Structure 1
Amino acid sequence: MTRLFKNWWDRLLFRDRGIIPTPRLLFLVAGVGVLLTIISVWRYSLLYICIATALVIALSLLDLLFSPRRKQVKANRVIPDELERQKNHSITITFQNDSSYDCMMRMVDQIPTSFQTVYPFNQIIKGNQTTTITYEVLPLERGKFSIDRLYVRYKSKFGLWEKQKTFSIEEVAHVIPNLTEMNRYLSDPQKYLLHEGVKIRKQKSGIGEFSKVRSYVVGDDPRKINWRQSAKLQEIMTNEYEPEHGKYVTLLIDCGRMMGVELTKGNRLEKVLEATMATAAAALKNGDYVSVIAFSKDIHAYVPPAKGLEHLDKILHAIYPLQVDPSESNYQNVLHYVQLKQKKRSLLLLFSDVHTFIHEDSMLQSLRQVRRKHLFMIIGIEDEQLQAKRSVYPSSVSLAMEKAIAQKQLQFKNKQILKWGKQGFSVLEAPKDRLAVRSISVYVDQLNRGAL
């Protein structure tokens, strides 16, 4: 009995094969039943009513003859290889109707619950034709998701009965971090950094790699005038230099407990991954070597240093499955791992929770050893709630206490950041929407200063 009930329940929930009555048939039977009941008051008995109702239902089964058989309906699904988080993507379903009958179709795809979608309703599938249906999905979580079922219901033009069919179409959806920030930088680096007040400028006094010879303009350094080309072209020409390529940049991604703090959209780790891809794109476009290490209490992912924009694909496929680890992060372990893997001088840019990091006074000795060879910086996301509490108007005693505590915590944090700064370690925080641009500006600033 339980198994029979489950089969019927699956049938009602779009998860089985078979036939089911449509609302049109139910209204038809109910209307006939009410009409016969009224007539039976004067003439017919209840037996005649039951016989007439059963006859109507039996005649309605003829409707199934005017709809395609299950073997005559085929389906195929096309999903993009990579879906960006918090970005709409199209999924295409192609139906092939090998019968001569048109049908009205509705479907439910086995999309994960972390996807937002609205399925198309009552699509007409022409007989002996192929019909393509497209619907939008909005992934909310990263990861690898398996999609292998497509549930379909279709009915004839009379619409009294619906046939159900389940297609087995195995697909894998790879949901990657949102790459909007990375694409914005690649399209126009100077415009991307405009609001940060950082320019990708040339180095001073001809230091760096020679780029080209161009016409002299007001404001250029006279010491960079190319006198030979000026005499040849009868026009003042100057040498242009750019920062040296081939530097090493190591991006450290903290996946520990504090990176699971929820933001408006996603959590801290989501924003860090977006900033990582944008910073990696900036360094690779400049011709530098980029490596990535993801960690919590253990090392979760390592991408060896390489250059060229094609290296972005390797970084992306290594970090897109990362999830928050409920354990605390082991910073000393990752610093030791960096020293083993990165033999050349590198910019170590750590994406982590600043409040947790600055309390690790025991790390100072390890960082001093790292600083002898590498340039170390840490960048995190500002605590929105703490900033909001500090700015609130103290209209009551409780609000005044909350504001005082928030100010005290911020003062302590600033004091610790100043302490770390005196030791030669830069500690920065940025709003969640400015993390990517701030991390790129930090990298560009180090290039402009020649720190690497």
Structure 2
Amino acid sequence: MLFLFSFWFEILYSISWVLIVVLGLIFLTDLVMLYRTGGVTASRILPEKFSNSDENRVEIIITNLYDFPLNSEVIDEIPVQFQKRDFLKQLYLPVSKRVVFDYYLKPLNRGEYTFGNLNIFVFTKIRLVKRRFVFSKDQMVKVYPSFIQMKKLDFLALDRKISLQGLKKIRRIGHTMEFEQIKEYVRGDDVRTINWKATAKKKDLMVNQFQDERVQPIYSVIDAGRVMKMPFAGLSLLDYSINSSLAFSNVALKKKDRVGLISFSRKIDSFLKANARLPQLNRIMESLYNINTGFYDSDFGMLYAQLKKHVTQRSLVMLYTNFEHISALQRQLPFLKAIAKNHLLVVIFFENTEVKKLTLSDPKNLSESARQTLAEQFTHDKIFMAREFQKHGIQAVLTSPQELSVSAINKYLEIKARGLL
């Protein structure tokens, strides 16, 4: 601008050249200060694994090695799955001091996530030159089913507050092969349990007392068919089921039960035999990590055949699936009834929360009123399905995706408290 106005005011021409020289000297000073000596070091600290659908902490550590303070801009290349391209953090870096900050990421899919470069741009107060430093290239972290939710629900399950109202845990006298003690006979005891050797020694009738088996086989069965592809709040029904089965399996292991896992669609995708050892939880997590859904109809007849062949002992089967139409339920009901003859079957299926919201809306015209009527019909069908299961002796849990884990654990605790298995 000064050069422009110097066309009319000649004195500005000399002043413009002086300012150009001064600006050049300042630029060279800034350049030498940043590139002569010093530097910065930075690192990105990632957890060993990310928890799906939870906030995961990423920590950035930056150290200023210059002998003067700096301003900086941090641009972290976040994995492509997040589709986030506006990450920018501005920091002040004191002399020879370490600056730490963190941010959080919430993945919505399992799999491998790769971070790109950690770019640090530093500049002095002059702000004419920026120098870029690149660190932590191509760091990879795996996203596993929600182990954060698992730990939270583990704590809740051990708390008495989670017990359902009206339920009281009692020790039931059973007839399984888990021996408890020998006691004196009282009226009402089963005469078949009289211990004749102990009776001969005591000269009074003595009976064997047994208790229900504590270590019971429990299987989480996950339907990986197309019906589980439906998304709610960014997560598919399959991922909700995976997160829930991990939390549920952890609680069952804490209760000393044997836990297994089955996932299926057109065929059995994964099968883990029920086991009560602690490493079983890691095996379940690794199996859940690899479960994917396709666009196929699941074969419940094949599931029944595989359960009959490989799971010979009566077990608690927690089946995660979904039915949107009564006709779909009617097609699979014969297989579910067959499974329920050999095992205690609990079918866990989902409310359509978006449809439920529509039933609570206030229609403003005839078209909206018609949609609300259809939504009410779908909601009623879900309730009818739950009653249909109960009519055929099948336990049912109808829940929203967000409340799935708590609902499944509560159902398990209810079954344990009532001694149904």
> TM range, normalised to the smaller chain?
0.7 to 0.9
Q: Is the 8 A contact 2:169 2:418 kept in 1?
A: no
Partner of 2:78: 111
1:272-316 CA-to-partner distances (Å, cap 9, x unmatched) read: 223212211221111111111223334444333221444323322
User: For residues 312 and 184 of structure 1, what CA distance do their matches in structure 2 show?
Assistant: 16
Structure 1 residues 95, 393: closer, same or farther in 2, change over 3 A?
closer
Which amino acid is the alignment partner of residue 402 of structure 2?
D
1:188-238 CA-to-partner distances (Å, cap 9, x unmatched) read: 4344524x42646123347787899xxxxxxxxx99xxxxxxxxxxxxxxx
> Which of 222, 239, 244 does residue 270 from structure 1 map onto?
239
> Following TM superposition, by how much is the alpha carbon of 1:71 offset from its aligned partner in structure 2, in angstroms?
8.3
Structure 1 residues 321, 121: closer, same or farther in 2, change over 3 A?
farther
> Which of 327, 339, 351 does residue 320 from structure 2 map onto?
351
1:121 aligns to what SS in structure 2? strand
Q: Is the 8 A contact 1:118 1:135 kept in 2?
A: no
Structure 1 residues 408, 277: closer, same or farther in 2, change over 3 A?
same
> Following TM superposition, by how much is the alpha carbon of 1:416 offset from its aligned partner in structure 2, in angstroms?
4.5
Q: Is the 8 A contact 1:202 1:243 kept in 2?
A: no
1:439 aligns with 2:408: yes
Partner of 1:43: 10
Instruction: Return 5+ residue gaps in structure 1 as ranges.
Output: 1-33, 213-221, 224-239
> Following TM superposition, by how much is the alpha carbon of 1:319 offset from its aligned partner in structure 2, in angstroms?
1.4
Which amino acid is the alignment partner of residue 73 of structure 2?
R
Structure 1 residues 384, 91: closer, same or farther in 2, change over 3 A?
closer
> Following TM superposition, by how much is the alpha carbon of 1:162 offset from its aligned partner in structure 2, in angstroms?
0.3
1:47-86 CA-to-partner distances (Å, cap 9, x unmatched) read: 9957964773465133111125698443322111122234
Instruction: Return 5+ residue gaps in structure 2 as ranges.
Output: 182-187, 190-208
> Which of 276, 285, 298 does residue 307 from structure 1 map onto?
276
Partner of 1:167: 135
Within-5 A mapping of 1:321-400: 321-355=290-324, 359-392=328-361, 396-400=365-369
Q: Is the 8 A contact 1:94 1:130 kept in 2?
A: no
1:63-120 CA-to-partner distances (Å, cap 9, x unmatched) read: 1111256984433221111222343333223335545444322221121244479643
1:90 aligns with 2:18: no
Q: Is the 8 A contact 1:203 1:241 kept in 2?
A: no
Within-5 A mapping of 1:24-423: 34-43=1-10, 53=20, 56-57=23-24, 59-68=26-35, 72-115=39-82, 119-124=88-93, 126=95, 129=96, 131-143=98-110, 144-179=112-147, 181-189=149-157, 190-194=159-163, 196-197=164-165, 199=167, 201-205=169-173, 244-355=213-324, 359-392=328-361, 396-423=365-392
Q: Is the 8 A contact 2:2 2:13 kept in 1?
A: no
1:61 aligns to what SS in structure 2? helix
1:161 aligns to what SS in structure 2? coil
Structure 1 residues 393, 154: closer, same or farther in 2, change over 3 A?
closer
2:252 aligns to what SS in structure 1? helix
| TM-score (normalizing by structure 2) | 0.78
Q: Is the 8 A contact 1:139 1:175 kept in 2?
A: no
1:111 aligns to what SS in structure 2? coil
User: For residues 428 and 319 of structure 1, what CA distance do their matches in structure 2 show?
Assistant: 21
Which amino acid is the alignment partner of residue 118 of structure 2?
L
Instruction: Select between 133-142 and 48-57 the one with higher mean Cα deviation.
Output: 48-57
| Percent of paired sites with the same residue | 18
Partner of 1:227: none
1:359 aligns to what SS in structure 2? helix
> Which of 396, 399, 410 does residue 430 from structure 1 map onto?
399
User: For residues 161 and 278 of structure 2, what CA distance do their matches in structure 1 show?
Assistant: 18
Q: Is the 8 A contact 2:172 2:212 kept in 1?
A: no
User: For residues 123 and 323 of structure 1, what CA distance do their matches in structure 2 show?
Assistant: 45
> Following TM superposition, by how much is the alpha carbon of 1:172 offset from its aligned partner in structure 2, in angstroms?
1.9
Structure 1 residues 357, 439: closer, same or farther in 2, change over 3 A?
farther
User: For residues 114 and 69 of structure 1, what CA distance do their matches in structure 2 show?
Assistant: 39
Which amino acid is the alignment partner of residue 282 of structure 2?
D
Which amino acid is the alignment partner of residue 174 of structure 1?
K
Q: Is the 8 A contact 2:79 2:113 kept in 1?
A: yes
Partner of 2:194: none
Instruction: Select between 143-152 and 326-335 the one with higher mean Cα deviation.
Output: 326-335
Structure 1 residues 146, 365: closer, same or farther in 2, change over 3 A?
same
Which amino acid is the alignment partner of residue 437 of structure 1?
V
Within-5 A mapping of 1:14-25: none
Q: Is the 8 A contact 1:67 1:102 kept in 2?
A: no
Which amino acid is the alignment partner of residue 294 of structure 2?
D
Runs of 4+ in 1 over 6 A off after TM superposition: 45-48, 206-212
> Following TM superposition, by how much is the alpha carbon of 1:378 offset from its aligned partner in structure 2, in angstroms?
0.8
Alignment root-mean-square deviation, CA: 3.6
Structure 1 residues 394, 98: closer, same or farther in 2, change over 3 A?
closer
Instruction: Select between 291-300 and 431-440 the one with higher mean Cα deviation.
Output: 291-300
Structure 1 residues 70, 202: closer, same or farther in 2, change over 3 A?
farther
2:282 aligns to what SS in structure 1? helix
Q: Is the 8 A contact 2:58 2:105 kept in 1?
A: no
Q: Is the 8 A contact 2:74 2:121 kept in 1?
A: yes
1:67 aligns to what SS in structure 2? helix
Q: Is the 8 A contact 1:377 1:427 kept in 2?
A: yes
User: For residues 325 and 304 of structure 1, what CA distance do their matches in structure 2 show?
Assistant: 24
User: For residues 441 and 241 of structure 1, what CA distance do their matches in structure 2 show?
Assistant: 27
> Following TM superposition, by how much is the alpha carbon of 1:411 offset from its aligned partner in structure 2, in angstroms?
4.3
Q: Is the 8 A contact 1:358 1:417 kept in 2?
A: no
> Following TM superposition, by how much is the alpha carbon of 1:384 offset from its aligned partner in structure 2, in angstroms?
1.7
